[in-house]
Amino acid sequence: MAGEIQLNSTTMATESSGSITAELDTIRPNTTNGSLTLQGDSSNAGVTGLTIDSSGVVNTTTAKVTNIQATSGQSLTIKDEDGNTAITVGTDNTAASYLSLNFGSNYGGTGSESTLDDYEFGSWTPIMGGQNQPTCYYCKVGRLVMLQGDITLDTDTTTTAVMTGLPFNATSSTYGTVSVGYVSNNRSAVAGYVYPATDRIDFSTPKATASLQAGDNIFFTAHFITD
């Protein structure tokens, strides 16, 4: 059944089970300025669960929602006034991300450029000199990756120490920035950068004559963009 239904005492009656199954395009009050009210069962008679007034406004003082759940295999979407999807919640049986937020062109991007659909936090194990190093940590929000670590050099190095094994590759279009907070054993100052299109950080000393030695600890943070 499709179309418009006006509810009154004669248009529709409940079955003995108290249930009605119908496909509806529109449900509205019978009176011009009335409100559409949904209530609980007979044990909760008079308790309003949801009220929509004649202008279409939901009475938020009585509308209480405990759960909104998508059907298996379907995504739950919330749209803006123009019908554009603003929030998408996926399920185990959909390819959509579990949560996707589309900020729209008002925030400078269009399409996928304005969609936040990825957040991760975890650990990773860097590699230097062919030996695994202590566990480090990362956080990824969209395409932005943030790293934090405390590494120990495996071997002596003259100017550059190379670390690989980053959890993501940097984009090919730009270098990532690395900040070194502290180097043990009073060695020379160290700078660093994430090399484009690789999972690699180069730690470098500012002078060709400076050196880093096995056993030096480097505390660092890094930020870069991934594809």
Task: Yes or no: say if 83 and 75 are a contact pair by the CB < 8 Å rule.
Answer: no
186 found inside a domain: yes
Domain hosting residue 158, numbered range:
120-225
Cβ-proximal residues to 84 (8 Å cutoff; 6+ apart), any chain: 102, 104
- Looking at the fold, whether 113 and 127 belong to one and the same domain comes out as no
pLDDT in tens, 125-161: 998 876 667 889 999 999 999 999 988 888 887 778 8
Task: Yes or no: say if 186 and 195 are a contact pair by the CB < 8 Å rule.
Answer: no
What is d(CA 6, CA 58) in angstroms, rounded to the nearest whole number?
Answer: 19
What is d(CA 50, CA 36) in angstroms, rounded to the nearest whole number?
Answer: 8
Please state the domain count of the chain.
3
- Looking at the fold, whether 40 and 83 belong to one and the same domain comes out as no
pLDDT in tens, 58-98: 765 555 667 788 888 888 898 888 888 888 988 888 877 78
Query: What pLDDT, on a 0 to 100 scale, did the predictor assign at position 39?
Result: 67
- Looking at the fold, whether 158 and 110 belong to one and the same domain comes out as no
pLDDT in tens, 4-59: 445 554 455 555 555 555 566 677 776 777 777 766 666 655 555 667 777 767 76
What is the end-to-end Cα distance of the chain in Å, rounded?
A: 49
What is d(CA 220, CA 78) in angstroms, rounded to the nearest whole number?
Answer: 41
- Looking at the fold, whether 178 and 198 belong to one and the same domain comes out as yes
